Structure 1
Amino acid sequence: MRLTLIAKLSIATSAVLLLTMGLFAYINVEQLDKLLFEEAVTDADKLGETIVRTTHYHMLENNLKRAYQIIDEVGAQRGIIERIRMINKFGLVTHSTDPKETGLYLDKKAEACSMCHSGSSPLVHATTMNRSRIFRNREGNEVLGLAKAIYNEERCYTAPCHFHPKEAKVLGVLDVVVSLDPMHRKVYAYRNEIIILTVLQIGLIALCLTFFTQRFVNRPVRRLVQYAHLVGSGELDARVAINSHDEMGELAGAFNDMTVNLKKAHDELADWGKNLETKVEERTEELRRIQAQLVHSEKLASLGELVAGIAHEINNPLTGILVFASLLSSDSKLDPSLKGDLDLIVKETQRCAKIVKGLLDFSRESFPQKRPASLNEVMDATLTLVGNQSCFHDVRLIKEYNTDIPEMLLDPHQIEQVFINLLLNACHAISGSGKILVRTGFDRERAEAYAAIGDTGCGIPEEILGKIFDPFFTTKENRGTGLGLSVSYGIIEAHGGRIEVQSTVGVGTTFTIWLPLMHEGAPEGAAADSSAPSSA
């Protein structure tokens, strides 16, 4: 689904606004919650101070009944005050608005005591915030508790009714617990207002942005697109109307100037084409044939020079390796666990010798030694051979074979060499983890079988795609000779087939080898493989 310019701008702007306003709203709600909590703590502290001062006279007169009655009257404000209790210096709850707590002893680790008794010695003075605590009541609602110390003033230890030691600093604690539901309701209401305002503001801005974008950008762009389509269809007399003097107007003027120049160039080319078209086509075709012959001759000459050096420099060492590996393999003193390795050395040395011979055959345009063979079996043998290479450790191999492909007339060793080159190139093109897809199939109508090797590597740039089969052309620094693809190209041509390549930079590359089904077992009545890749 293609999004319009207006939709993109609206979505982008709405996302930015939503993010910024969401952050702004979150900070505001957090600050409001903090301020309301501090206000609740202050109100609870003032309430405790009011209760202490109100009951102070009755305490001096030892009129505990009236003092407790005042506490009960204040605590009767349900919905605001959850609980009020007085605790003496020994931890005894002398009175509480919850009758079940009266007469109980509290531990120093209790919520009302821990803020002053958390250290080795109890605190005499503590800040308001340090004396506050938040917890949940029996109903699960969040409440605020504030402990306020009742200090031993001079009137307390000199009163005639009872006596407190002069050395005592604190006579007890008044513990006030209030509900935080009013604070939460304010915060939730403010949060909902912020959300509604944010949505309304984003909607209004999106509408305004859509309107102005439609008027000043979208309409002129649509006119330019329509005009470009007309020019592209050959109507070089078309002109776009200039309705403004801004950047869009300048762009429209540039389009008109471009159309004038295109018409002028088109007319000139038409005049030249009338006289030269036939001669140019004939001359071009002749030059193409000559160039193809020259390129092919240069490739063969370059490979011939290289093969002479390879035969001299590699064949002798390979012969020595093969002889001594064979002797060691047949030695009765050899450790049996090493025999498999030596057999592998012999086999790979023989394969190297065949590779050199293949280069010679290619440079001399010799014919391959064809025999009936299965394309799938050749591919499986190749995968077994290269699968243990270190570059394949992080690469996932996926095989999709068509089991209906009959045996074909081909040289298995040469085709295996082609598969090795393509698989190693695919592996080297993948940086890190990736996958290689190997597919086989056939096309009955064209009487051809194919083997496709696709990778998820870096891809091949279009400007060098036409050079990859040239001798000595390579993009591998210090790793390639530039012969792998050229030798593979020669082998496939000698088999009467062709190699096609499709590549996208950053996506991957797929090499497809087409070979003729020149065999009596070819399925004449079979349908063509629907998964066959299209010709490049």
Structure 2
Amino acid sequence: MKLPAASLTIKITVLIVIVLIVGFGISTILTIQRESDLLVEQSKGAARRLTMTLIASIESAMLQERPDITRGLIQEMQSTTPVEGLTIYRHNGVEAFTDLETLKAVSKEAELPKGVAASIEKMARPAGAVMTGPLFKKAVDTLQTQESLEEQNGVLLFTLHQPIPNQERCQGCHGTDHKVRAVVRVQTSMAPVFAAVHAQRNRQIMVGIVTIIVAGGALALVMRSVVVRPIQSLALAAKRIGEGDFAVRVPADSGDEMAELGGALNDMTVRLATAKQDLETRNAELAS
């Protein structure tokens, strides 16, 4: 069974919708990608700023010979900052600011203010697992920040390893046999970021769908008025001319190609009417 041919209005509407889908689709994809990259970079930037703030606080407290303040600050930040992990490691991978090894080494070279050692001893705890990861080693070897995105327990984490150089002013307590005094390791979950990305993506898709529907409907109505109706008028006029009605005329005052076509059809109708009248006159003369 042959399906009925689709009307010109439907064909034009479908074409408009396809063009809008392609155009808005590409635009939406690019916008989503750009905003996703921006949100991810903002999250990474927050982790970098947190790390640099912590390093500045450590440097300040250590130069004032107050490592106890540094330990307290780190413990507080570990429990209050919205990050998944915040750990400082010595250049050999052992967790810093936990045991009393550094305190013992420093005490041999310098005398700490009264009460500092006692305060540090109260905060002492066993060190965590030794850090041996490739990014940690690379940070120690190159003195450059190392960053990565890695998944742990189904959660995507942004991990940053920021080395702290063993500056000359620090070597009196920390020795001169290593270039890196410590590495700050910060891990922050990217789940909230990607949740925001997905929400933004859904909003963009909804805006695109609504825009396509509204714009497609409006353009279809305009095309129906500007193109389809004039063509229908021409088709109806041509049908009446075929039936012998040479008095029919179509509007030809729009100033566009449809007007030219209408004018040509009107001229043809006039010539057909004249030819018919001449033929009838000759037939009448022959009959008489």
What's the CA shift for 1:230? Answer: 2.0
Does the 8 Å contact 1:148/1:173 carry over to 2?
yes
Shift in alpha-carbon separation, 1:235–1:115, aligned structure 2, 3 A:
farther
- Which digits, 9 at most, give the CA deviation of each residue in 1:79-117, with x for residues without a partner? x30011111111223469xxxx9432232xx25425437
Residue matched to 2:43: 40
Kindly report which structure 2 residues correspond to 1:8-407, keeping only aligned pairs within 5 A, or say none.
8-59=11-62, 66-77=69-80, 80-94=82-96, 102-107=127-132, 110=133, 112-113=135-136, 115-116=138-139, 122-124=141-143, 126=144, 131-138=146-153, 140-158=154-172, 163-232=173-242, 234-242=243-251, 244-246=253-255, 247-265=257-275
Does the 8 Å contact 2:163/2:183 carry over to 1?
yes
Structure 1 segments unaligned to the other structure (5+ residues)? 275-536
CA RMSD of superposed structures (Å): 3.1
Q: Report % sequence identity.
A: 24
Does the 8 Å contact 1:241/1:252 carry over to 2?
yes
Q: Secondary structure at the match of 1:262?
A: helix
Residue matched to 2:115: none
Q: Which amino acid is the alignment partner of residue 104 of structure 1?
A: A
Structure 2 segments unaligned to the other structure (5+ residues)? 99-125
Shift in alpha-carbon separation, 1:42–1:19, aligned structure 2, 3 A:
same
What's the CA shift for 1:135? Answer: 0.9
Does the 8 Å contact 1:94/1:103 carry over to 2?
no
Between the aligned partners of 1:31 and 1:95, the Cα distance in structure 2 is 41
- Which digits, 9 at most, give the CA deviation of each residue in 1:357-377, with x for residues without a partner? xxxxxxxxxxxxxxxxxxxxx
Between the aligned partners of 1:257 and 1:92, the Cα distance in structure 2 is 98
Q: Which amino acid is the alignment partner of residue 148 of structure 2?
A: R
Q: Which amino acid is the alignment partner of residue 266 of structure 2?
A: N
Does the 8 Å contact 2:94/2:131 carry over to 1?
yes
- Which digits, 9 at most, give the CA deviation of each residue in 1:154-196, with x for residues without a partner? 34223xxxx3223522012010001223322332233223222
TM value normalised by structure 1 = 0.42
Does the 8 Å contact 1:237/1:259 carry over to 2?
yes
Aligned residues: 253
Between the aligned partners of 1:203 and 1:114, the Cα distance in structure 2 is 56
Q: Secondary structure at the match of 2:186?
A: strand
Between the aligned partners of 1:66 and 1:270, the Cα distance in structure 2 is 117
Between the aligned partners of 2:274 and 2:239, the Cα distance in structure 1 is 19
Q: Which amino acid is the alignment partner of residue 157 of structure 1?
A: Q
Shift in alpha-carbon separation, 1:166–1:87, aligned structure 2, 3 A:
same
Between the aligned partners of 2:240 and 2:76, the Cα distance in structure 1 is 89
Does the 8 Å contact 1:143/1:177 carry over to 2?
yes
Q: Secondary structure at the match of 2:164?
A: strand
TM value normalised by structure 2 = 0.74
Q: Secondary structure at the match of 2:92?
A: coil
Q: Secondary structure at the match of 1:195?
A: helix
Q: Which amino acid is the alignment partner of residue 131 of structure 2?
A: L
Between the aligned partners of 1:37 and 1:111, the Cα distance in structure 2 is 23
Does the 8 Å contact 1:223/1:240 carry over to 2?
no
Between the aligned partners of 1:115 and 1:193, the Cα distance in structure 2 is 41
- Which digits, 9 at most, give the CA deviation of each residue in 1:443-489, with x for residues without a partner? xxxxxxxxxxxxxxxxxxxxxxxxxxxxxxxxxxxxxxxxxxxxxxx
Shift in alpha-carbon separation, 1:85–1:112, aligned structure 2, 3 A:
farther
Does the 8 Å contact 1:41/1:132 carry over to 2?
no
What's the CA shift for 1:22? Answer: 1.9
Q: Which amino acid is the alignment partner of residue 152 of structure 2?
A: N
Q: Secondary structure at the match of 1:81?
A: coil
Q: Secondary structure at the match of 1:242?
A: coil
Q: Secondary structure at the match of 2:245?
A: coil
Between the aligned partners of 1:183 and 1:111, the Cα distance in structure 2 is 26
Q: Which runs of 4+ in 1 moved over 4 A?
A: 57-66, 263-274
Between the aligned partners of 2:17 and 2:138, the Cα distance in structure 1 is 48
Shift in alpha-carbon separation, 1:83–1:149, aligned structure 2, 3 A:
same
Q: Secondary structure at the match of 1:171?
A: strand
Between the aligned partners of 1:95 and 1:179, the Cα distance in structure 2 is 24
Q: Which amino acid is the alignment partner of residue 259 of structure 1?
A: T
Shift in alpha-carbon separation, 1:114–1:224, aligned structure 2, 3 A:
farther
